[in-house]
Structure 1
Amino acid sequence: MKKANSITLWSLRIPEHRDQVPACRDILTSSEHERAARFINAADQERYILCRGMLRRTLSEMLSRDPAAIVFNRNALGKPYLPNRELEFNVSHSRDRLLIAIAADRAVGVDIEFRRDGVPMTAIAKRWFAPAEKEFFQGLEDPQTGFFDIWALKEAYVKARGEGIFRELRSFCVPLPYRSGIPAADTDANWGFQSLEIDPHYSAALVWKKRSFDEDPPEVHIQ
């Protein structure tokens, strides 16, 4: 970790690391091997092994610990965490991209979304976006980019809170891209939001728990 008030973000292109799959497989636990075996599609299985293995390797570097010895617990809603909360982390992958966010002493959530065609954006926005988000989306000249930018922020937020799919997505509004003054759920005093420029074909977002109302935003180091 660079310093206490920082978040480190690893951005990886999965195809560039496929040669690491055997090494990643070797450090997985038996339960992780069982989960990998459930994937019918070989590419999905390979992606899971690589993502899980790279998470273990990244944490091992920061904790100076054998990657195979790292233990994960899960909260009541299934979010994994380290038993003694030495570091907080979150992972997201979409198509060929993997993001790993790691921070000290603060909850963190990350999400990345490939801007794919064929998504029923209007129907999804109508069902899952808050009123201000729907209004914003409907006025966009580039609805695809705006849609996925909003979705990434919402997903990163519920992941930071450890709620995942159990949170009603239309029950809160995220700070909207390109517009200020839109409050987030639980007030902006509690959570920080940042859209990320990772790849022109993807939308990505990072959300973190604030330690105080007036703290400076953490430095985000992308590697």
Structure 2
Amino acid sequence: MNYIYCSRIDGLSRERLYSQRHLLDRNQQTTFDQFRFDDDKRRMLLARMLLRYVLTKHEGYQDPHFPYLHYNQYGKPAVMGMMGGFNISHAGVWAVCAYNPLGDIGVDIEKRVPIDIHDYKEVLTTDEFSALMQNNNNVDFFRLWSLKEAIIKADGRGFYLSPITFNLPYPLVNGVGIKVAGKCWHLYSQEIEEEYVLAAASASYKTTVFFLPSDVL
């Protein structure tokens, strides 16, 4: 089972935003301080609040501080001693954290904005680009791209795994599996407030999504 926790940044007051800063480790505080705008700070902090909530709920984490993050050679974050896998993402007013008790998971959230699909031709396979141009099977760019991002993040190599090395299966049905670089990932996606697309990829085919106010984190 995958668990995805979502929260809106506009529920995080400026007072609480800055009162949580000291719970970050030194490197995270530096990153926090480098952001010019409060909304950027909210996105960063709320994602870590969600991660702390996940660890407390699923893995018995008891420290009030945010967990220290380690990164693999490709930049994927991990928490030492964690039994399951997690991944975080944020866009616009949303921050999300996904958890799989059995292992790796990738999550992505994208905000729908006007685009020129030709700008993305180099990061899509020929079949995907053709389907988008012809609107085959009601293919939606943001749903397709968020799923590809989720797979890439679950794999752990980031864009060292090129998005043009695999085609997404059609139709894009929740729970469908795709084999990428020798691993099978089950896919999940849903709309949030019409403007956003949430996607996840993991070895588990069942997913539950929770929406949490920031004051419970």
Question: How high is the TM-score relative to the length of structure 2?
Answer: 0.83
Task: Tell me by how many angstroms 1:186 deviates.
Answer: 2.5
Matched with 2:151 is 157
Does structure 1 retain, via aligned residues, the 8 Å contact 2:143–2:197? yes
Distance in 2 between the 1:41 and 1:155 partners?
26
Between the aligned partners of 1:163 and 1:7, the Cα distance in structure 2 is 21
- 1:25, 1:50 within 8 Å by CA — same for their partners in 2? no
Name segments (4+ residues, structure 1) moved above 6 Å.
Answer: none
CA drift of 1:151 comes to: 0.6
Q: 1:113 to 1:142 in 2, by over 3 A?
A: farther
Alignment of structure 1 residues 126-137 onto 2, 5 Å: 126-137=121-132
Q: Name 1:54's counterpart in structure 2.
A: 50
Q: Bigger CA drift: 95-104 or 195-204?
A: 195-204
- Which protein, 1 or 2, shows the higher relative CO under an 8 Å CA cutoff with sep ≥ 6? 2
Query: 1:46-105, CA deviations, whole angstroms, 9 ceiling, x for partnerless residues?
Result: 332232233223323332421416332211111111212322101111111111101112
Partner of 1:38: 34
Paired with 1:188 and 1:195, the residues of 2 have a C-alpha distance of: 22
Per-residue displacement from partner, 1:10-47 (whole Å, max 9, x unpaired)?
A: 11111123354134323211110011122233432333
- Helix, strand or coil at the partner of 1:68: coil
Mean alpha-carbon deviation: is it higher for 63-72 or for 155-164? 63-72
- Tell whether the 8 Å contact from 1:25 to 1:53 is kept in structure 2 after alignment: no
Note if contact 1:59-1:67 (Cα within 8 Å) is conserved in structure 2.
Answer: no
Amino acid at match of 2:9: I
* 2:10 alignment partner AA: P
CA RMSD between the two structures: 2.7
CA apart distance, 1:185: 4.4
Whether the aligned pair in 2 keeps the contact of 1:101 and 1:110 (CA below 8 Å) is yes
Following the alignment from structure 1 to structure 2, what is the Cα–Cα distance between the partners of residues 198 and 85? Answer: 29
Q: How far apart are the structure 1 equivalents of 2:146 and 2:130?
A: 17
Tell me which amino acid in the other structure corresponds to 1:53.
Answer: M
Q: Distance between the aligned counterparts of 1:78 and 1:42, measured in 2?
A: 25
TM-score by length of 1: 0.81
Instruction: Describe the shift of the 1:87–1:136 C-alpha distance in structure 2 as closer, same or farther (beyond 3 A).
Output: same
Give the number of equivalent residue pairs. Answer: 208
Per the TM alignment, residue 187 of structure 1 is displaced from its structure 2 partner at its CA by 7.7
Name which of 15, 18, 24 aligns with 1:28: 24
Q: Which sections of structure 1, spanning at least 5 residues, go unmatched?
A: 1-5, 211-216
Relative distance call for 1:38 and 1:22 in structure 2 (3 A) is closer
What SS does the aligned partner of 2:62 have?
Answer: coil
User: Aligned to 2:13, what secondary structure does the other structure show?
Assistant: helix
Alpha-carbon distance change, 200 to 141 in structure 1, aligned in 2, over 3 angstroms: farther
